[in-house]
Chains A and B, each alone.
Chain A
Amino acid sequence: MSTHDATTAPPAAGEANYLNCSHGFRSWFFTLDHKRIGVMYLASILSFFLLGGILALLIRTELLTPTRTLMSADDYNKVFTLHGAIMIFLFIIPGIPAALGNFVLPLMLGAKDVALPRLNLASYHLYLVGALIAVLSIVQGGVDAGWTFYAPYSTTTNTAVVTLTFGVFVLGFSSVFTGLNFIVTMHKMRPAGMGWFDMPLMLWALYATSIIQVLATPILGITMVLLIVERVMGIGIFDPALGGDPVLYQHFFWFYSHPAVYIMILPAMGIISEVVSVFSRKHIFGYRAIAYSSIAIAAFSFLVWGHHMFTSGQSELMNMIFSALTFSVSIPSAVKMFNWLSTMYKGSIRFDTPMIYALSFMFLFGIGGLTGLFLGSLATDVHLHDTYFVVAHFHYVMFGGTVIAFLAGLHYWWPKMFGRMYDEKWGRISAIIISVGFNITFFTQFVMGSQGMPRRYYAYVDKFEPYHVISSLGSYLMAAGFFMTAWYLVKSLYRGRPAPANPWGGGSLEWQAASPPVMHNFTDEPVGGDPYDYSNQAYDPALGGYVLRKTEVSDR
């Protein structure tokens, strides 16, 4: 490792960086720079999040009354199908890895780019193509099969199923290529001296995620192919009238879609590990446990898909095995929670927006994870399956978990990505509004569900109306929080205070690059070390951020 004069400031904002070093559509759309690709992904996924969110508001508004409020039953079915498909395939699966991971991964490795930049660009282009094809299904009249496309309904309904599933198929490639790229990068482009256990936990998280992406997504691919072939050619594989088995579809589908939820949560957990440590100024507790648990979660995630099918007619033996394995996957997640909490113990905690989101994550993911116990247990699952209890559970883990962590990461790396600080006061207010609104929206759904309210219901019996009204009001509050967030973040791009290289005191290598980084990432070779050792940093009030202390050649 080289010495570094800590008092030399990195290039000031406004000098040539990756954002302003070249201009024009082509310089962005055909870039090979991982940072620009990350930013393009960010813009795209946030656009689809907006679309998916509007659909969610439509759903909640329709459900304000027990019968028709805004739309017909058919339209409602199409709205919830599209909401699910967009949120899952266009937002949350690419989400953290593509938008944030692409940006920070090479920086965290002190590298100039990912291993396969052209593949990275291809991944983004495929994402756009797949997304546009998927959204094209709206123009064709929509799809009403649910995002899970269960046969034989999906193979017989007269809606644009083929278009949407083909879009999903294409998106699968995008996901595989991202994962593939990350794995190769982490294996081949770690700097000398950075062993596996010297990497920040965000990278472990992305690594575990990438393994799942590479191994599970092809199964989604073949499932979509079979569905399309069934509809177009009528091969009969899922059609009981032709000797096929509709439940086989469910096995195929969930074999991908269960690991997929860990694609969603693992990177989120990676972000939380970073944020909690940095904002407590304390070494992450249980580094190895967190690293191993990420891999364990990835491995176990492939073994539990049948817990989505407990009432499908699967044998009791299969049900028992899946239930037991499902519980085993809960343990590593619980361990992480304890580790984060222990990181805060005797720390020095500052409640910047990323940390508020991280705390909110622990609250919301705690609930989401614990409610998974009810669903993993066979006898209770029979009662709760296909009710709003499940809807609440997955929104708590996917939204209260992944989206909240995504927001934490977005706020954490925003200064790095755009060289601007956002308004901290509005950041905190929005975080709280979103978290409170979220709980109002979804906690009521647990109660509704355990009382028997089934999911995917356009109309419902009167006794559930109060719950639905409360839930919908919560959703409006949450939406307000999101619009506020969008507003102050966009505003920061024009009016935000220029960001120092290391506003939060992060110890991983991206904080040694400028904010925003130059095109090739680092002007000086970054100094390695334990990413969670903050003792070599000092706060510089003039800068408004942290700098490395003057130091000898550091020994590792």
Chain B
Amino acid sequence: MSTAHEGRDEHADPHLQHHFGSMAQQYDSGKFGMWLFLVTEVLLFGGLFCAYAVYRANHPEIFAYAHQFLDKTLGGLNTLVLIVSSLTMAMAVRCAQLGQQRRLKQMLAATLLCACVFLGVKGVEYEHKWKHGLLWGTRYAPQGETAAPAAAGTQVETTAAAAAAPADGGTTLPHAATGPEGLADRPQAGHGDAAHGGHGPAGPAPRNVHLFFGIYFVMTGLHGIHVLAGMIAIVWLLRRSASGEFGPGYFAPVDFVGLYWHLVDLIWIFLFPLLYLIH
């Protein structure tokens, strides 16, 4: 809630809009509005989570197979980065409330920096996928060391028309990723055992693996757009804070952007395990 302003003539407050009776009413209204907006964002992503749930329930083998192409380390790093950015954002709000102008700008800048790192890492991941043909729909065409060799009878589903070995429940999973290169540098030797970490036997990949990547790119892509929008909002806050506009009597914009930012972080915290940490 707003800090004490009893005794001040509120109508002198340049930030008080004409249709509100008090700064408290204005602040409350804005906050409530931002919460409602966050609800709509949750629903927006909720639709995607539903699509994820439906496809995972119907095709568990696709998810079990394809998620191994995602780099857990990078994903984990990004998760950490966003959590830190939430911290710096919360501290920025606190600074605004206390009128600590310099710290406020530093915290905002730090948040922005974390966001840049996040997007940078995502860029690296996307680039890797692009390079190895791990894309959506008909663009799915794994190449290089990530491709299961054709000799072992695996079929890569590039189109539905391609006759394919039936999905076999993922018991012949290729070797899991050990680094940014995705599937191991080791050639598929066609040995037996299919356990994680073991030498991957060749074996048929399930059909329609591209569905996983379609979902991956849409979900992380939409999330990335929201990160970008948040960054724009933070830049806007930085500009406004340059003139010392925020302080104990008026910090609502920082507070509300902070709320938005926390949600962006929260959405990622759900995305990460669902996409990267599938068992």
On whether the two chains bind one another, the answer is yes
**What class of interface size applies to chain B in its complex with A?**
35 or more
Of the candidates A119, A189, A218, A236, the one whose C-beta lies within 8 Å of that of B44 is A218
A461 at the interface (CB under 8 A from B): no
**Interchain CB contact under 8 A, B30 and A112:** no
**Interchain CB contact under 8 A, B208 and A226:** no
B166 at the interface (CB under 8 A from A): no
Give A217 to B36 CA distance when docked, in angstroms. 13
Residue of A nearest to B36 (CB): A180
**Interchain CB contact under 8 A, B208 and A243:** yes
B218 at the interface (CB under 8 A from A): yes
| Segment of B47-55, B112-120, B191-199 in the binding face | B47-55
Residues from chain B with a CB closer than 8 A to the CB of A111 are: 19
**Interchain CB contact under 8 A, A242 and B139:** no
> With A218-B47, A225-B222 given, is the CB distance from A243 to B17 under 8 Å?
no
B207 at the interface (CB under 8 A from A): yes
A415 at the interface (CB under 8 A from B): no
B150 at the interface (CB under 8 A from A): no
A residues 206-252 in Cβ contact with B at 8 Å: 214-219, 221-223, 225-226, 229, 233-237, 239, 241-245, 248, 252
Give A259 to B157 CA distance when docked, in angstroms. 39
> With A188-B25, A214-B40, A252-B47 given, is the CB distance from A234 to B33 under 8 Å?
no
B residues 239-260 in Cβ contact with A at 8 Å: none
Of the candidates A225, A242, A245, A520, the one whose C-beta lies within 8 Å of that of B18 is A520
Residues from chain A with a CB closer than 8 A to the CB of B30 are: 116
Residues from chain A with a CB closer than 8 A to the CB of B29 are: 115-116, 184-185, 188-189
**Interchain CB contact under 8 A, A112 and B160:** no
Measured CB to CB, the closest approach of chain B to A318, in angstroms, equals 14
A176 at the interface (CB under 8 A from B): yes
B205 at the interface (CB under 8 A from A): no
B residues 170-224 in Cβ contact with A at 8 Å: 207-208, 210-211, 214-215, 217-218, 222
Measured CB to CB, the closest approach of chain B to A256, in angstroms, equals 9
A117 at the interface (CB under 8 A from B): yes
> With A112-B18, A115-B29, A189-B25 given, is the CB distance from A237 to B51 under 8 Å?
yes
Against B, the Cβ 8 Å flags (1 = close, 0 = not) of A287-302 are 0000000000000000
> With A187-B32, A218-B40, A234-B136 given, is the CB distance from A117 to B214 under 8 Å?
no
Residues from chain A with a CB closer than 8 A to the CB of B210 are: 235-236, 242-243
**Interchain CB contact under 8 A, A235 and B214:** yes
Give A218 to B37 CA distance when docked, in angstroms. 10
B138 at the interface (CB under 8 A from A): yes
Give A181 to B222 CA distance when docked, in angstroms. 25
Residues from chain B with a CB closer than 8 A to the CB of A225 are: 218, 222
Measured CB to CB, the closest approach of chain B to A312, in angstroms, equals 15
Give A236 to B218 CA distance when docked, in angstroms. 12
Of the candidates A176, A214, A223, A242, the one whose C-beta lies within 8 Å of that of B138 is A242
**Interchain CB contact under 8 A, A243 and B33:** no
**Interchain CB contact under 8 A, B211 and A237:** yes
Residue of A nearest to B218 (CB): A229
Measured CB to CB, the closest approach of chain B to A213, in angstroms, equals 9
A510 at the interface (CB under 8 A from B): no
Measured CB to CB, the closest approach of chain A to B271, in angstroms, equals 15
Q: How many residues of A contact B (CB 8 A)?
A: 44
**Which of B62, B207, B218 lies at the interface centre, i.e. has the most chain A CB atoms within 10 A of its CB?**
B218
Residues from chain A with a CB closer than 8 A to the CB of B33 are: 115-116, 119, 180-181, 184
B28 at the interface (CB under 8 A from A): yes
Give A219 to B45 CA distance when docked, in angstroms. 9
Residue of B nearest to A188 (CB): B29
B43 at the interface (CB under 8 A from A): yes
Residue of A nearest to B137 (CB): A234
Measured CB to CB, the closest approach of chain A to B161, in angstroms, equals 8
A135 at the interface (CB under 8 A from B): no
**Interchain CB contact under 8 A, A243 and B59:** yes
> With A115-B33, A229-B218 given, is the CB distance from A222 to B54 under 8 Å?
no
> With A119-B33, A243-B59 given, is the CB distance from A219 to B43 under 8 Å?
yes
Give A245 to B39 CA distance when docked, in angstroms. 28
**Which of A218, A245, A252 lies at the interface centre, i.e. has the most chain B CB atoms within 10 A of its CB?**
A218
> With A181-B33, A188-B25, A189-B25 given, is the CB distance from A233 to B211 under 8 Å?
no
B145 at the interface (CB under 8 A from A): no
Give A187 to B30 CA distance when docked, in angstroms. 12
**Interchain CB contact under 8 A, B137 and A235:** yes
Give A183 to B28 CA distance when docked, in angstroms. 13
Residues from chain B with a CB closer than 8 A to the CB of A184 are: 29, 32-33, 36
Residues from chain B with a CB closer than 8 A to the CB of A243 are: 59, 62, 160, 207-208, 210-211
Residues from chain A with a CB closer than 8 A to the CB of B59 are: 243
**Which of A111, A184, A187, A189 lies at the interface centre, i.e. has the most chain B CB atoms within 10 A of its CB?**
A184
Residues from chain A with a CB closer than 8 A to the CB of B32 are: 183-184, 187-188
B41 at the interface (CB under 8 A from A): yes
Residues from chain B with a CB closer than 8 A to the CB of A236 are: 136-138, 208, 210-211, 214
Residues from chain B with a CB closer than 8 A to the CB of A116 are: 29-30, 33
**Interchain CB contact under 8 A, B39 and A242:** no
Give A181 to B62 CA distance when docked, in angstroms. 43
> With A112-B18, A188-B28, A219-B43 given, is the CB distance from A183 to B36 under 8 Å?
yes
Measured CB to CB, the closest approach of chain A to B162, in angstroms, equals 11
Give A245 to B243 CA distance when docked, in angstroms. 54
Residues from chain B with a CB closer than 8 A to the CB of A221 are: 44, 47
Of the candidates A113, A117, A218, A234, the one whose C-beta lies within 8 Å of that of B43 is A218
Give A337 to B136 CA distance when docked, in angstroms. 52
Give A112 to B17 CA distance when docked, in angstroms. 11
Residues from chain B with a CB closer than 8 A to the CB of A229 are: 218
Extra contacts besides A218-B47, A237-B55, A237-B215 (12): CB < 8 Å: A116-B30, A184-B29, A188-B28, A188-B32, A218-B44, A225-B222, A233-B136, A236-B137, A236-B211, A242-B137, A242-B160, A520-B19
- Interface pairs (19), CB distance under 8 Å: A114-B19, A116-B29, A180-B36, A188-B32, A214-B36, A214-B39, A215-B39, A218-B43, A218-B46, A222-B48, A226-B47, A235-B217, A236-B136, A237-B215, A239-B137, A241-B159, A241-B161, A242-B138, A248-B51
4 nearest A-B residue pairs (beta carbon): A243-B208, A235-B214, A222-B47, A234-B137
Taking Cβ atoms with an 8 Å cutoff, the residues of B that contact A are 17-20, 25, 28-30, 32-33, 36-37, 39-41, 43-48, 50-51, 54-55, 58-59, 62, 136-139, 159-161, 207-208, 210-211, 214-215, 217-218, 222
